[in-house]
Amino acid sequence: MSTKTPRTRRTLATASAAALALVAVTACSSGGDGGGGGNGGGGGEEGRGDITVWYSNNEQEVAWAEQMIEAWNADNPDQQVEGQEIPAGASSEEVIGAAITAGNAPCLIYNTAPVAVPQFQKQGGLVSLSEFEDGDEYIEERSGETAAQYASEDGAYYQMPWKSNPVMLFYNKDMFEAAGLDAENPSLATYDDFLAASKEIVDKGIAPNAINPAPTSEFFQSWFDFYPMYAAETGGTQLVEDGASTFTSEDGYAVAELWKTMYDEGYSSREQYQGDSFADGQSAMATVGPWAIGVYDDVNWGAVPVPTSDGIAPSETYTFSDAKNIGLYTACENQATAWDLLKFSTSEEQDGQLLELTGQMPLRANLTETYPEFFEENPAYELFGDQASRTVEVPNVPNAVTVWQTFRDAYSEAVIFGEGDIQSSFEDAATEIDELVSE
């Protein structure tokens, strides 16, 4: 028997009606596509005038961007550029994604992660640079063969390959010496060498861990443990190629087994270290790019290519690029100006400035030949300059972030925490990933 009073019924009816109305109103407002054109209205590709650009917030890149904008503005009084750091957020990709949705993304962002490009492209947030008359030609001439990795599935470029941070194996010379290892020419070319050095360091108590890549579950963490070594082991194979995952191979299992041994033997920690374990002397090695040179001032470091099972020559060793590129966003009204600025900021002169000010490698063919003075004066960077020509990018495929999260989950379970069999975990992940990239 119902015990509801008339008042209760009225309240319920009012609440239900309000809820239905709200959903209906929401549905109506969400169903619309909003105004403006896909290319941001305004002048579109022909538009010229003032524009805004975003760049990364680290000190070196801010310095580079400020001088670049100053140089442009001095020569282009009728097409002024306003620069600002990417607004703070959990990650740059989330901020950029929100800006695309809100329609207030700037014209250019000098920190567009390749892994996010398929998503931004799907959102209609990126301009195809191939649509500019000299688009493909400029990109391919500047970056050479490497450029192909940055083309989207439709063959067009939605990102300008800008700079890479080829990941190499840093080691602490003082710790190696204390462990009785050769600090100047360390034997780190093969997996056996790598494991032997790790054992010496840990067994002799030189450092709590030999190397400490973040063991956490974020999708991008595999770029700094599995992927550089996988790129090296396979001679430059991406995680996904031709619409199918590649890591269920002998090479993939070999890299996974190496890291599993590192965790099982305690050479790497399953616990997240708060801070930079290499800088803090808590580990003797690290897999990082040349950006770290400026950061590891207090460490007597050396760098070598990441190891492979058979120890191939450094001149043939591939690694993960850790690149950041430039995106031209559809909200931009003056896209012609943006394209010109993009070319200006990736010119030989500005790439030289980037190298000088940040130590990061412009994604430019013949890098070491183009800037011989820099590499002569800064021998520490020479290895990275050479390595920059042999880098592997994250695959430019649909659902790229989900692909990497799926891989990370399988890797975390089977390799880091050693639960289950590597082969079956990888096979399950590969099946899921193949479905994701075919969507």
**Site residues (vs another protein, CB under 8 A):** 19, 22-23, 25-27, 30-31, 33-38, 41, 90, 93-94, 97, 100-103, 105, 119, 122-125, 214-219, 269-272, 274, 330-331, 399, 401-402, 405, 409, 412-413, 416-417, 419
Three-state DSSP at 209 gives strand
Rounded CA-CA distance 157/6 in Å is: 65
CB of 273 to another protein, least distance (A): 9
What are the E-state strand segments in 12-139?
51-55, 81-85, 108-112
Residue 36 or 180 having the CB closest to another protein: 36
Q: At its nearest, how many Å lie between another protein and the CB of residue 283?
A: 14
Query: Minimum distance from CB of 208 to another protein (Å)?
Result: 8
Return the CA Rg of the chain: 25
CA dist., res. 47 & res. 42, Å (int): 7
Q: Return the amino acid letter for 53.
A: V
CB of residue 417 to another protein, shortest distance in Å: 5
- Smaller CB distance to another protein: residue 215 or 302? 215
190 three-state secondary structure: strand
Q: What is the DSSP letter of 168?
A: E
- Return the number of the residue (21 or 244) whose C-beta is nearest another protein: 21
Q: Which is nearer to another protein, 27 or 74 (CB)?
A: 27
Residue 30: CB minimum distance to another protein, A: 6
Nearest of 319, 172, 345, 361 to residue 234 by alpha carbon: 319
Tell me how far, at minimum, the Cβ of 338 lies from another protein, in Å.
15
Nearer of residues 32 and 379 to another protein, judged by Cβ:
32
With vertex at residue 331, the alpha carbon angle to CA 325 and CA 332, rounded to the nearest 5 degrees, is 75
Number of H helices, E strands in the chain: 17, 14
Q: At its nearest, how many Å lie between another protein and the CB of residue 236?
A: 27
Nearer to another protein by Cβ, of 96 and 197: the residue is 96
Residue type, 203: D
Strand 108-112 with 319-320, pairing: unpaired
Residue 85: partners with Cβ closer than 8 Å, 6 or more residues away: 54, 55, 56, 57, 62
Nearest-approach distance from CB 301 to another protein, in angstroms: 25
Report the chain's terminal Cα–Cα distance, integer Å: 52
Measured in whole angstroms, the distance separating CA 311 from the mean position of its chain's CA atoms is 26
Residue 7 or 133: the one with the smaller Cβ distance to another protein is 7
Q: Considering beta carbons, is residue 19 or 380 the nearer one to another protein? A: 19
Going by C-beta distance under 8 Å and a sequence separation of 6 or more, which residues neighbour residue 284? 171, 172, 175, 176, 179, 197, 201, 206, 207, 209, 210, 211, 278
Q: How many CA atoms lie within 13 A of 23 on its CB side?
A: 5
Q: For the CB of residue 290, give the shortest distance to another protein in the complex, in Å.
A: 26
* Smaller CB separation from another protein, 105 or 323: 105
